[in-house]
Amino acid sequence: QVQLVESGGGLVQAGGSLRLSCTASGRTFTTSAMAWFRQAPGKERELVAGISWSGGTPYYADSAKGRFTISRDNAKNTVYLQMNSLKPEDTAVYLCAQGAVLDPHGMEYWGKGTLVTVSS
């Protein structure tokens, strides 16, 4: 089975930066869409950023646009989320997800998540 393992979360001050990484096992990464979601306590899970198998035209939530960058390295089976200008409202568990198509309702595999805490 596909396994996704996230890393890079931690505590950062407002205005700072973090880079999250998600490494996938299996043989389907290069033909799969990848995405980052986040979930804060008491809030709905939301799609933050996504990237297709081709790496073209990535998707960003309005809250992330201009601050976050998603990228992938197919040779390493890894997807990244570079987060700059972090705000306290970015605090959440960030989860990596994989699917055949970038569809927030149809992602097939999920990591356990990595916690990002942004202090004011």
Reported as a single tens digit per residue, the pLDDT across 52-85 is 987 778 999 999 999 999 999 988 999 999 999 9
Q: How confident is the model at residue 50 (pLDDT cuts 50, 70, 90)?
A: very high
- Residue 29, helix vs strand vs coil: helix
Question: Is the CB of residue 118 less than 8 Å from the CB of residue 87?
Answer: yes
Question: Is the CB of residue 17 less than 8 Å from the CB of residue 68?
Answer: no
Q: How confident is the model at residue 116 (pLDDT cuts 50, 70, 90)?
A: very high
Q: How crowded is residue 6: how many other Cβ atoms within 10 Å of its Cβ?
A: 22
Q: Which residue has the tokens 């393992």?
A: 5
In this prediction, residues 32-58 reach a mean pLDDT of: 92
| Mean confidence (pLDDT) of the chain | 94
**Any idea how long the chain is?**
120
Candidates 9, 1, 3; CA nearest to 80 is: 9
What is the biggest distance separating any 2 CA atoms in the chain, rounded to whole angstroms? 41
Query: Is the model's pLDDT at 23 over the cut of 90?
Result: yes
Q: How confident is the model at residue 29 (pLDDT cuts 50, 70, 90)?
A: confident
In this prediction, residues 75-100 reach a mean pLDDT of: 96
